[in-house]
Amino acid sequence: MQAPGYPIVSVRNLSKHYPLRSWWGGKASVFRAVEDVSFDIRPGETLGLVGESGSGKSTIGRAVTMLNPPTAGTVAFEGVDLATLSAPAMRRTRARIQTVFQDPYAALNPRMSVGNYVAEAFKLHRPGMRGLERREAVAGLFERVGLEPRFAGRFPHQFSGGQRQRICIARAIALRPSFIVADEPIAALDVSIQAQVVNLLQHLQDELGLSYLFISHDLRMVRHLCHRVAVLWRGRIVELAPSDLLYENPRHPYTRRLLGAVPVPNPAAERARLAAANASPAAPIAEGGDLVEVAPGHFVAEPTGGAAA
Ligand SMILES: Nc1ncnc2c1ncn2[C@@H]1O[C@H](COP(=O)(O)OP(=O)(O)OP(=O)(O)O)[C@@H](O)[C@H]1O
Ligand SMILES: [Mg+2]
């Protein structure tokens, strides 16, 4: 056990480069999808990761879970550098780090009953478990995620999108993980269902003490769900702060621009915001430098190259 407040996940100087082959036979180069990213996630904390499409959010998610290991930098889980683990130790650790993806239908096996899909986690990681015990565990998981256990014999196509995501969540929590990467877990769902799935994630967090890396385009949902938020821009974190600080006092020009896309609920404030936005044409955003702590826990990359805030 670790002291309270000790990070469960610690990412330091993580970079992910992809080889870029030239298609005309020229010199190959590398594409820097993620560059020098550092953050911590504390027990029971949800860290939001936001940024435009292609900014490297999923790349970070896959690097943190070692599904696609980083090119450089370290990922420590419960204080242990994942790169130093032996294969059996990594297998055990894998059970404690799970991912929930955007498209539950793609994650499920269309030819496997959903009960068997969830039970597979136990077959792979708890070989000593007996059939009856496994069935009871699966029924318990179904109840926990708000599904009727009697539906366990059904196949993925017989469920709604929201129910399918609940099944994926049941499988993700089966082995009692302490950390879940949720990569756009609600983006493919009907708006009316999104809040239900987010509530479920929150409820499970309270119940099981989970930590989340919550990747999302939905800035409102991120504010609602996340304790802290990291803003990613072209593979780099440009701002990292507690949610309220970030939303009330965004400091980096890119964060301001990103949040400017969210309408303000107060009509007078919204009019003032739009007037201000129209009055000052968007400043060019320069590449962020090293992060500077501008207030306790509020980190901002120093805009360079004369980017006006
Ligand atoms: N296997 C790969 N090989 C080469 N380039 C890749 C690979 N995977 C991702 N990329 C590139 O890395 C960048 C970051 O991709 P990533 O999927 O992490 O973005 P994202 O922020 O998750 O975007 P989205 O919001 O659209 O899901 C993109 O420019 C993408 O084209
Ligand atoms: Mg993505």
Mind listing the pLDDT tens digit for each residue in 50-74?
999 999 999 999 999 999 999 999 9
On whether residue 52 sits in a domain, the answer given is yes
Q: Parallel, antiparallel, or unpaired for β 80-81 and 288-295?
A: unpaired
Q: How many domains does the chain have?
A: 1
CA of 217, closest atom in ligand 1: 25
- CATH of residue 15: 3.40.50.300
On whether residue 278 sits in a domain, the answer given is yes
Length of the chain: 309
Report whether residue 216 contacts ligand 1, using a CB cutoff of 6 Å: no
276 contacts: CB under 8 Å, gap ≥ 6: none
Helix (H, G, I), strand (E, B) or coil at 187: coil
On whether residue 64 sits in a domain, the answer given is yes
d(CA 166, CA 105): 11
Distance 116 CA to ligand 2 centre (A): 28
Distance 55 CA to ligand 2 centre (A): 8
Report whether residue 185 contacts ligand 1, using a CB cutoff of 6 Å: no
With a cut of 70, which residues of the chain have pLDDT below it? 1-5, 261-289, 303-309
On whether residue 1 sits in a domain, the answer given is no
Nearest to 247 by CA among 272, 266, 226, 275: 226
Report whether residue 33 contacts ligand 1, using a CB cutoff of 6 Å: yes
Report whether residue 57 contacts ligand 1, using a CB cutoff of 6 Å: yes
On whether residue 4 sits in a domain, the answer given is no
Out of 17, 29, 31, 184, mutate this one to test ligand 1's pocket (max ligand atoms within 8 Å of CB): namely 31
Paired strand residues for 16: 34
On whether residue 309 sits in a domain, the answer given is no
Q: Which domain holds residue 210?
A: 9-303
Question: What pLDDT score does 43 carry?
Answer: 96
State which residues have CB under 5 angstroms from ligand 2, the bound ion. Answer: 57-58
CA of 215, closest atom in ligand 1: 22
Question: What pLDDT score does 229 carry?
Answer: 97
d(CA 66, CA 57): 14
Contact 183, 135 (CB under 8 A): no
On whether residue 3 sits in a domain, the answer given is no
98 contacts: CB under 8 Å, gap ≥ 6: 65, 172, 173, 175, 177, 179, 180, 181
CA of 31, closest atom in ligand 1: 5
Give 106-144 pLDDT, tens digit per residue: 889 999 999 999 999 999 999 999 999 999 999 999 999
Q: Parallel, antiparallel, or unpaired for β 228-233 and 46-50?
A: parallel
- What are the C-alpha distances in Å from 302 to residues 132, 164, 246? 58, 43, 15
On whether residue 308 sits in a domain, the answer given is no
Ligand nearest to the CA of 60: 1
Q: How many CB atoms lie within 10 A of CB 20?
A: 12
Ligand 1 atom 17: the closest Cα is on which residue? 58
Ligand 1 atom 24: the closest Cα is on which residue? 53
Nearest to 48 by CA among 183, 235, 201: 183
> Where are the extended beta strands (E) located within the chain?
9-20, 29-41, 46-50, 72-77, 80-81, 97-100, 179-183, 211-215, 228-233, 236-242, 288-295, 298-303
Kindly provide the b/e burial profile for residues 69-102, where b requires at least 16 CB atoms within 10 angstroms of the residue's own CB.
Answer: ebbebebbbbeeebeebeeeeeeebbeebbbbbb
Ligand nearest to the CA of 56: 1
Question: What pLDDT score does 29 carry?
Answer: 86
Q: Parallel, antiparallel, or unpaired for β 97-100 and 179-183?
A: parallel
